Amino acid sequence: MTPEAERKMQFLFALRSRGVTDKSVLHAMETVDRAAFIRHYFTDRAYEDMPLPIACGQTISQPSVVGLMTQALKVSSRDKVLEVGTGSGYQAAVLSQLARRVYTVDRHMRLVREAREVFDGMGLVNITAFTADGSHGLPDQAPFDRIIVTAAAEDPPGPLLAQLKIGGIMVLPVGQSDAVQRLIRVTRSETGFDYDELRPVRFVPLVEGLGRDS
């Protein structure tokens, strides 16, 4: 077995041991090379289950959290997905393996530009990335079958709830940025919204407006 194959096998084993058991999600994460989304001297740690720093003071989430959030989203091949918080682009790339279409937004123009370069290099043609205030969602493309938010708000933002289809699912962290947050799943029904609490997490806060580099 080559070192690369062994590293991939250990990566998948770590994901399974932390609760990522959906075969389609595991296959998507095996397909997408996390190292492509990490710059400079952190690339040799790409397959470790830990968050790593990226540009604009942001982080790339640890793989097990990406896997658990993706799994909770229950994405099908017919779904149109909105991601709020492009970051490195890794989460969007994983989603692109599962969904019909992925729209991803970030307030930092540099992150969107760099993520687009990686998407293009990988031939991921079903992702569209925007520089925008993600707390407002993407009204022009709504409604969405699935919404994933990779930054923590105190409560699920109203505009995002409004852009979720009936029967749609949103997964996001909620809570104060300086305290332990909870990952929740919101399912929209004909009569309102149902909330499931999934696990404790820690994310950067969801900030309104565009980043200074924009």
CA 169 to chain centre: 14
Phi and psi of 78, rounded to 5°? Answer: -95, -5
Q: If you search the block for the tokens 């194959």, which residue do you land on?
A: 5
Length of the chain: 214
The DSSP secondary structure of 13-30, one letter per residue, reads HHHHHTT---HHHHHHHH
Per the annotation, the verdict on 96 as an active-site residue is no
Rounded CA separation 194/214 (Å)? 36
* Stretch (H or E) spanning 186: strand 181-188
Rounded CA separation 135/62 (Å)? 23
Residue of 61, 64, 88, 135 with catalytic role: 61
Phi and psi of 188, rounded to 5°? Answer: -90, 130
Rounded CA separation 109/114 (Å)? 9
State the catalytic residues: 61
